[in-house]
Structure 1
Amino acid sequence: MGMEFKNMVSLVSRNGRHLQRYSKGRRQVVGCIPYRCKATSQTFSGEEDLEVLVISSQRKGKGMLFPKGGWEIDETIKEAALRETVEEAGVLGIVEGELGKWNFQSKSNDAYYEGCMFPLLVKEQLDLWPEKDIRQRVWMSVPEAREVCQHWWMKEALEILVHRLTSPQQHDEKVVGPC
């Protein structure tokens, strides 16, 4: 999947809203929380073994967030989440089970959105990606990400991910990818 998808990814982000999905008047957006185990950690025992990837907002000085964008009518929800993550953060990996859905209002305009987030177990970090010149990407600890993430609903998604990854019964069921 990785190589196939990489070959399909153009180095230009999709633009325009004509393919956007809406639900009850709310634009549907999807995204991922890219994560990995710290290099020093052989086993995964708690959030201190976890690193997440955040990106800078396109608007200067508006803080950090997880990659997200519009879900378009010609793709599945997981394809959209992966596409947005490649476009904005330049990473590939395994899109895991949905973390949840949130309804929120844009801070910059009065539009309403429905957001859906997924974990992405990162397998590859690209040197070139569509938004490389307009975004920074930073690996950080969970406490750092809680501090800098600008969206309340993304912080909630992060808490769900941490709970899922640190909950012992989840590992027994092989619900999450191995670190």
Structure 2
Amino acid sequence: QVSVCIPVDREHGRVMLVSSRSRPNEWILPKGGWESDESKERSAEREAWEEAGVLGQITRQVGVWIKPSKKHAPRIKSRFSVYELEVRETRDVWPEQS
């Protein structure tokens, strides 16, 4: 189970993506698993903060994407719950900054 965040900055008309040291030429959306004491929506907000330095609020669920297992079809390998986040603030320093 994975929460995915689409950070939307309406003020500047952009969607915010992140990159990583391991894949510097790829742009991705903040994502990750959720803790037992948090909702999927809260997890998406947390991932945006930890991975991109973005603070905001979930406005809606965009959808669910299922990734099937290649070895054990038709089993599901991962379930991605995708949320739109309205960006309220960006920070210059954040927890998983490269």
Under TM normalisation by the shorter chain, which class is it? 0.7 to 0.9
Query: What does the per-residue CA deviation read over 1:46-97, in whole Å, with 9 as the maximum and x for residues that have no partner?
Result: xxxx311000145234611110001221111111111111000001112111
**1:120 to 2:74 alignment:** no
Aligned to 2:2: 29
* Structure 2: segments with no counterpart, 5+ residues: 70-75
Among the aligned pairs, what percent are the same residue? 39
Q: Is the 8 A contact 1:31 1:82 kept in 2?
A: no
**1:92 to 2:55 alignment:** yes
Instruction: State the alpha-carbon separation in 2 of the partners of residues 99 and 32 from structure 1.
Output: 9
Which structure has greater strand proportion?
2
Q: Give the letter aligned to residue 30 of structure 1.
A: S
Map of 1:36-75 to 2, 5 A cutoff? Answer: 36-39=9-12, 50-61=13-24, 63-75=26-38
Cα RMSD over matched residues? 2.0
Deviation of 1:105 (Å): 5.4
Instruction: State the alpha-carbon separation in 2 of the partners of residues 60 and 34 from structure 1.
Output: 20
Map of 1:8-19 to 2, 5 A cutoff? Answer: none
**1:102 to 2:65 alignment:** yes
Q: Is the 8 A contact 1:70 1:80 kept in 2?
A: yes
Instruction: State the alpha-carbon separation in 1 of the partners of residues 11 and 35 from structure 2.
Output: 34
Q: Is the 8 A contact 1:93 1:124 kept in 2?
A: yes
Which structure has greater helix proportion?
1
> Where has structure 1 moved over 4 Å in runs of 4 or more?
none
TM-score, normalised to structure 1, is 0.47
Higher relative contact order (CA 8 A, sep 6+): 2
